Structure 1
Amino acid sequence: MLRSLSTRIAPVPALATVAAAALLAAALWSARSLSAPQPSAAVATAPRAPLDGAAGANLFGASPESAQNNAVQLLGILSFDPRHAAAIVSVGGDAARVIHVGGTFNNDMTLAEIHPKSIVVERHGLRREIALPAAQNPNAYVR
Structure 2
Amino acid sequence: MRALIQRVSAARVTVDDRITGEIGPGLLILVCAMQGDTEAQADQLAAKIARLRIFKDDAGKMNRSVVDAGGAALVVSQFTLAADTSRGNRPGFSAAAPPDEGHRLYEYFSGAVRGQGIAVENGEFGADMAVSLTNDGPVTIWMEI
- Which one has a larger percent strand, Structure 1 or Structure 2? 2
State the TM-score, normalized to the length of structure 1: 0.20
- Which one has a larger percent helix, Structure 1 or Structure 2? 1
State the TM-score, normalized to the length of structure 2: 0.19
